[in-house]
Amino acid sequence: MGRSTDTVRPLRLCPPPLTAVLFIVALFWSVPALADDDVPFPQLEEKMLEMVNEDRAEHGLGPLEQHDCLADVARAHSRDMQQNNFFAHRSPTTGMVKDRLWEAEVRVQTAAENIARNRSLQRAQADLMNSPSHRAAILDPNLTHCGIGVVKNDTDQYVITQVFALPAPEIDIERAGAELLEKLNEARAEQNQPACRASGGLDKIAAAHAAELAEAGEQVPLDLPAKVRAAGLQYRRLSTARVILWDPMQLAEADALVRTAASHLGFGFAKNTKHRHLGYGSVWVVVIMAGN
């Protein structure tokens, strides 16, 4: 980099296909008490976010929203670099940003990270914008939120971390089935398809299997006819869909559900909190389709 800014290539975490699940999640962890010379600079963090948004505005992009959890993640990484005398995306103690986001239990669909060191925030931001890879993270139109952490090291340089992300939508597991069925029936009406009806019995089977998937972190067998018989339900035609994703409401547009001949549907949902590679809070969804 030119001038006196230190940077490294930005870290970007990209989402896999819909039927897998996207990486990254954000962070709320406890942090150690700060020494007097290790105090973050919230006013400077706010100023840097303003500079980021000014750069985005110059390129016709909307502003990034401040995200407190991302700022906690960014600030903790800046502090880690300052205290432990390293400058890298990978921390000897907290790993990569995906690991820090997991530990923070923040649900984000995708994220990117920039780091820099400079005695001037203005020069640091200018040099980041002059680096194509860092610039790409700042100007990514798919990212909507940002958290920035700024601390000062013993050479009077600011140690800066910028974490950008697209947060996952909030999901109310208790209401998700009713909401998804409503949206799905609206889509079916547009295709002149009859409305599907809810089935409490199928919901229980789907919910139990979603919990099994969340525990295993992968697809596990389901003997659906046996489960249906054991529940005292009578359907001649049965099928199921199992997927993990960030927003279950996306299934309201799935052609297989919009055009299904099933008369009844059952839904089950379970959040991933155990399997890091799937992203914290990604949602296993089981849909059971039944008819006679």
Residue 290 burial (CB < 10 Å; 0-12/13-18/19+)? buried
**Calpha distance 240→246 (Å, rounded):** 19
Mean pLDDT of 15-30: 30
Summarize pLDDT for 154-197 with one digit per residue, the tens: 888 999 999 999 999 999 999 999 999 999 999 999 999 999 99
* Residues 246, 169 contacting (CB under 8 angstroms): yes
* Total residue count of the chain as it appears in this document: 292
Q: Which residue has the higher pLDDT, 26 or 9?
A: 9
The full DSSP string for 30-89 is --PPPPGGG---HHHHHHHHHHHHHHHHHTT-PPPEE-HHHHHHHHHHHHHHHHHT--SS
**Calpha distance 140→123 (Å, rounded):** 21
Residue 174 belongs to what H/E stretch?
helix 173-190
Nearest CA among 145, 150, 111, 149 for reference residue 23: 111
Token representation of residue 135:
């610039």
pTM over 0.75: yes
Summarize pLDDT for 77-105 with one digit per residue, the tens: 999 999 999 999 999 999 999 999 999 99
